[in-house]
């Protein structure tokens, strides 16, 4: 039994020794590579981001300058004398507005072009506008003179002529804007003058026909504006123009009102003649004459209903005269027939008397 224990211990010791021996064996060396080592490449830098271009500022100054010249060209009426050149400048301005805020460089270039074009078209167009306005003023002066301004308003015509002579010096020196303003003022003065002549004629007609009494309210207003236009002529031609326009309107109202009453009166006179003609059967005896008179009467009624009182009054008078003619012709026929009947009666009576004897 003791021998077996010793033998067992010997086996354990032997196994332990073998294990310790195995642990003490050094590791094998790693095999040496035969490949040649490649040199390492330097790290590549990331591509640089390009620097952003500086933003172009909005061309506000050029825009303002082009806008100012554009307004000036429009106010002067340049497009009336140089329409194609004006349209070219306007196109450049529109391009500037379209690109403004999105492509300021292009916008600025367009505004610069518009500025130059509007400036050039104004320079070319101004002498043309001056010449046209001078001719317009001269034409209105001729109109005023034809309407007897020299007789009706000699002082006002003399003052207007003096003003008309002034712009010539500015035109000769090349100060076209001053000349244009002067000629426009003369145009207005001569316009007022010829209208004053018209107002004077309307007023004279109402007075000569005693028509003012039919519309005293409008007559009083017309008289006030007529006088006001003359007194304002030298101080404020625009106010003078407004006053004479209203005077002409009011005188016209008086005339229409008066003719409205007059037309009604003439209608009654025409109907009196119509009834007289119908009373002797003129519509049968002289049908052609009567129908012509009736047509005139119908036309007068149409004009009266359309408030064309002046025409209606004249047509009622014509109708009355035509009905009178129809009456006269019908009566002549009636008298002739009566005479023939009387002669026949006389002849019958004579014959009967002879037979009785």
DSSP per-residue letters across 125-175? HHHHHHHHHHHHHHHHHHHHHHTTHHHH-HHHHHHHHHHHHTHHHHHHHT-
On average, the pLDDT of the chain sits at: 87
Give me Rg for the CA atoms of the chain: 56
Find the range with the poorest average confidence among 1-10, 222-231, 311-320: 1-10
Burial-class residue 150 by CB neighbours within 10 Å (0-12, 13-18, 19+). Answer: middle
- For the segment 306-327, the average pLDDT, to the nearest whole number, is 93
Separation between Cα atoms, residue 309 and residue 321, nearest integer Å: 18
Find the range with the poorest average confidence among 28-42, 88-102, 252-266: 28-42
The pLDDT confidence band at residue 55, using thresholds 50, 70 and 90, is confident
CA-to-CA separations, 94 to 5, 114, 253, 293, in angstroms, rounded:
120, 9, 49, 68
Rounded (5°) CA angle 310-316-320: 150
What digits encode the pLDDT tens for the residues 110-135? 999 999 999 999 999 999 999 999 99
Give the model's pLDDT for residue 82.
Answer: 97
**Tokens 């830098």 appear where?**
45
Q: Where do the H-state alpha helices sit in the chain?
A: 2-23, 60-76, 78-81, 83-99, 104-146, 149-152, 154-165, 167-173, 176-208, 216-232, 237-279, 282-285, 287-305, 309-356
- For the segment 165-178, the average pLDDT, to the nearest whole number, is 97
- For the segment 160-170, the average pLDDT, to the nearest whole number, is 98
3-class secondary-structure state, position 201: helix
Burial-class residue 197 by CB neighbours within 10 Å (0-12, 13-18, 19+). Answer: buried
DSSP per-residue letters across 275-302? HHHHHTTHHHHTHHHHHHHHHHHHHHHH
Give the model's pLDDT for residue 53.
Answer: 59
What digits encode the pLDDT tens for the residues 57-68? 999 999 999 999
């Amino acid at each position: 039994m003791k021998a077996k224990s010793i033998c067992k211990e010997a086996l354990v010791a032997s196994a332990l020794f073998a294990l310790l021996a195995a642990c003490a064996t050094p590791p094998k060396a790693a095999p040496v590579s035969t490949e040649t080592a490649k040199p390492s490449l330097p790290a590549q830098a990331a591509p640089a981001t390009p620097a952003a271009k500086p933003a172009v500022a909005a061309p506000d100054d050029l825009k303002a300058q082009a806008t100012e010249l554009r307004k000036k060209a429009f106010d002067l009426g340049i497009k009336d004398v140089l329409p194609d050149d004006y349209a070219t400048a306007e196109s450049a301005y529109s391009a500037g507005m379209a690109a403004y805020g999105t492509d300021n460089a292009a916008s600025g270039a367009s505004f610069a072009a518009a500025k130059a074009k509007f400036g050039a078209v104004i320079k070319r167009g101004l002498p043309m506008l001056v010449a046209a306005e001078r001719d317009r003023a001269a034409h209105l002066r001729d109109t005023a003179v034809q309407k007897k301004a020299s007789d009706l308003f000699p002082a006002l015509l003399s003052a207007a002529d003096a003003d008309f002579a002034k712009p010539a010096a500015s035109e000769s020196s090349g100060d076209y804007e001053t000349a244009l303003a002067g000629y426009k003022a003369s145009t207005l003065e001569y316009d007022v003058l010829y209208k004053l002549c018209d107002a004077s004629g309307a007023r004279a007609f109402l007075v000569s026909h005693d028509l003012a009494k039919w519309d005293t309210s409008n007559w009083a207003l017309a008289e006030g504006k007529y006088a006001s236009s003359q007194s304002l002529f030298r101080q404020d031609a625009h106010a003078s123009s407004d006053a004479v326009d209203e005077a002409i309107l009011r005188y016209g109202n008086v005339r229409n009102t008066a003719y409205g009453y007059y037309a009604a009166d003439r209608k009654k006179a025409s109907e009196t003649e119509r009834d007289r003609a119908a009373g002797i059967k003129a519509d049968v005896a002289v049908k052609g004459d009567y129908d012509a008179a009736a047509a005139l009467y119908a036309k007068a009624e149409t004009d009266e209903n359309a408030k064309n009182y002046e025409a209606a009054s004249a047509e009622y008078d014509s109708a009355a005269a035509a009905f009178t003619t129809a009456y006269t012709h019908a009566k002549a026929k009636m008298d002739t027939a009566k005479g023939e009947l009387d002669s026949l009666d006389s002849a019958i009576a004579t014959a009967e008397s002879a037979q009785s004897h």
